[in-house]
Every structure is written in structure tokens, then in C-alpha cells.
């Protein structure tokens, strides 16, 4: 039986998201709609069906830059780390059947996208629970492995804390004993505040950062309560650090963070430990530290004794797009 591809409305989409493993908070329709608004791209939320059964979700963002038609999942401007397809595993279907069904789903979506001409450039970045990029490779995509760190929090918090490096433990203990600070979970305004501080830090380092504060605030307002959690750390009434997380039923993602490195308060260690501790207390299974590709940042994140997990960057481009990309890199 062939795979039929349709565009879902919000109710249909979220109902399927709730039923499929592998979806992230950014797969919820509200997050997709906010992402479309702030990226300036058109959201196309594709669902594949085999008969009446959904076999997968694939949110795409379409747009154009001059003569180049582009398709992204996620769009590149907003620091969304994972998106791409979510596959229905078929309730334990045998490997051959599951592979064939998922391959046909990916091909059906790509054929639908190309009905009015193939895009010049397509880029997909999968989540860590997406099991198999081969359907993309078989359809002309280049696959690049990417990495993140995941901490297992489904255990006693004392054991969890003792698994961290000695400097994390000593920083947290010293701060509790000798320093004055407060960590609070805030609202949409605090989410925006954290992003403003992240932007300021990037500006100081002359590093591009394009996430608008309103994007974080809109995510907080649009998604269900508890999905977006902005943690702020203050000392003496002054902002010292912030951590913006997203979560679903199993995973907390430490999405954006910033800390005053000149402060005596070890804000990063304290904020990450607080988020990890709360995730364990709420019965989550894991904390995704979101990214293990930058050696400098890996040195910090590895202190929490995480496991390395793999996801994929998948890219396909036309000859014209390749030429334009070469010209951009040559003359920028």
C-alpha cells in the first residue's frame, strides 16, 4: 500500500505528536507556528498515512532567497537544534517492514515537495531519537553526524550528583555554604530577558546570534504550561545567569544559557544542577545538554558525566545552489 501525504491542522498534528516517540517540544504545532512567524518562512506540516494509520510527521519550512528556493527543518536562524521527521515504529513491526514504510514516507514527502519543481537547497537536522538517515542518503542527501550529550536522570539525585566531576560538586557545595544567590523559575518575560543577555554575550565576542527575545517569549506563551522553563540566577539583586529549557514527558533540553563569568557565583554549574535536579524530581528520564560539537563547550558539559548521542545533518542542493554557496564563501 502506498503512503499518502497530507497537510495537518493543529488539532490533528498535536494528536499525532502525543502518540509518536521521538518528537521534541519543537515538534508541537504551537512551536512550529511561532518558528514560522519569526523565521519568515512558510510552515508545511506534512503527515504520512498508510490507510488510516499515521506513519510519520515531517514539518518543513519553505521560502526563497532571490532565485533560490529553500526547504528547512528546522530553519537556520533560530538556534533550533533538532526537528526533521518523526517516524511511527509500527508498534514493533519487523525491521524489513519498518524500513520499507519509513523509506516510502520520506520519499512521498520529498515527491510532494517537488511537485512544483525540486527545491534548490534542502536541509534537515534530525533529533537524537531519529533512528535511520538512510532514506535521505538513498535520495541524494549528504549526511553529516552531529553530537549531543544526554544525562540519565532516572535515579536517586544523590547518586546523580556524585556522578558529576569534582569541580561541579565543589562549586555547588561552596556556593550553598558561602554565597548568597537565588534561582527562580520565571515567565515569558524572563525567557526574553535570558535571550537578551545571550545576545549581549555574543555581541561582546563578535559572534552572530539571531534569536530575537520575542521568539522565546512567544514559545513560553504558546506552548503548554511547563514546556518552556526560564531559570534565572540573581545575587544581590543582580542578574548573574540564566538557563532556558524545554521539556516533554521524558526529556528536558537545556536550550539556551548565559552566565556572568566575572561573578564569584558559579552560575552555570548551579543552573544546570538545578535544572537536572528538578527534571529528576519530576520523573523525567533524561536531560539533553543540547550540543557536543564545540570542543570548548564539551569541556564544560562533560563534567556532568553524560552519554554521547548522535543525530544527523542532512543536506541536498542543486548545482545553482552549490555555485551560489561557493561564491558566498569565496567573496564574503
**pLDDT tens, 277-287?**
999 999 999 99
pLDDT digits (tens, 9 = 90+) for 227-263: 999 999 999 999 999 999 999 999 999 999 999 988 9
Q: From CA 330, how far away is CA 332, in angstroms rounded?
A: 6
- H/E stretch holding 316: strand 307-317
Q: What is the mean pLDDT of residues 178-184?
A: 95
Please tell me the distance from the alpha carbon of residue 296 to that of residue 135, in angstroms, as a whole number: 33
Query: How many residues make up the chain in this entry?
Result: 332
Residue 326 is predicted with a pLDDT of 55
| Per-residue confidence band for 131, with pLDDT thresholds at 50, 70 and 90 | confident
- Please name each of the domains of the chain with its CATH number: 4-145+311-331 (3.40.630.30), 154-284 (3.40.630.30)
CA atoms within 13 A on the CB side of 104: 17
pLDDT at 104 over 60: yes
Q: How far apart are CA 225 and CA 216, in angstroms?
A: 14
Amino acid at each position: 500500500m502506498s503512503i499518502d501525504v497530507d497537510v495537518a491542522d493543529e488539532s490533528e498534528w498535536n494528536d499525532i505528536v502525543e502518540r509518536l516517540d521521538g518528537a521534541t517540544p519543537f515538534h508541537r504545532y504551537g512551536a512550529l507556528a511561532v518558528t514560522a512567524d519569526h523565521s519568515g518562512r512558510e510552515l508545511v506540516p506534512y503527515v504520512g498515512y498508510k490507510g488510516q494509520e499515521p506513519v510519520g510527521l515531517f514539518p518543513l519550512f519553505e521560502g526563497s532567497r532571490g532565485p533560490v528556493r529553500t526547504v528547512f527543518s528546522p530553519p537556520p536562524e533560530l538556534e533550533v537544534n533538532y526537528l526533521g521527521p518523526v517516524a511511527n515504529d509500527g508498534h514493533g513491526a519487523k525491521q524489513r517492514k519498518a524500513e520499507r514504510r519509513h523509506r516510502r514516507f520520506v520519499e512521498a514527502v520529498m515527491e510532494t515537495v517537488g511537485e512544483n519543481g525540486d527545491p534548490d537547497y534542502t536541509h534537515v537536522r534530525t533529533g537524537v531519537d531519529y533512528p535511520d538517515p538512510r532514506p535521505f542518503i538513498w535520495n541524494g542527501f549528504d549526511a553529516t553526524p552531529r553530537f549531543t550529550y544526554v544525562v540519565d536522570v532516572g535515579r536517586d539525585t544523590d547518586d546523580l550528583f556524585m556522578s558529576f566531576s569534582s569541580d561541579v560538586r565543589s562549586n555547588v557545595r561552596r556556593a550553598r555554604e558561602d554565597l548568597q544567590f537565588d534561582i527562580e523559575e520565571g515567565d515569558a518575560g524572563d525567557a526574553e530577558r535570558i535571550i537578551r543577555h545571550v545576545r549581549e554575550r555574543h555581541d561582546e565576542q563578535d559572534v552572530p546570534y539571531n534569536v530575537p527575545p520575542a521568539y522565546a517569549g512567544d514559545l513560553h506563551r504558546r506552548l503548554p504550561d511547563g514546556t518552556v522553563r526560564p531559570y534565572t540566577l540573581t545575587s544581590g539583586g543582580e542578574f548573574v545567569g540564566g538557563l532556558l529549557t524545554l521539556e516533554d514527558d521524558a526529556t528536558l533540553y537545556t536550550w539556551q544559557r548565559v552566565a556572568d563569568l566575572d561573578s564569584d557565583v558559579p552560575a552555570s554549574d548551579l543552573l544546570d544542577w538545578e535544572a537536572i535536579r528538578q527534571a529528576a524530581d519530576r520523573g523525567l528520564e533524561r536531560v539533553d545538554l543540547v550540543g557536543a560539537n564545540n570542543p570548548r563547550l564539551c569541556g564544560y558539559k562533560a563534567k556532568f558525566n553524560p552519554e554521547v548521542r548522535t543525530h544527523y545533518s542532512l543536506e541536498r542542493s542543486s548545482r545553482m545552489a552549490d555555485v551560489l554557496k561557493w561564491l558566498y564563501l569565496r567573496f564574503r
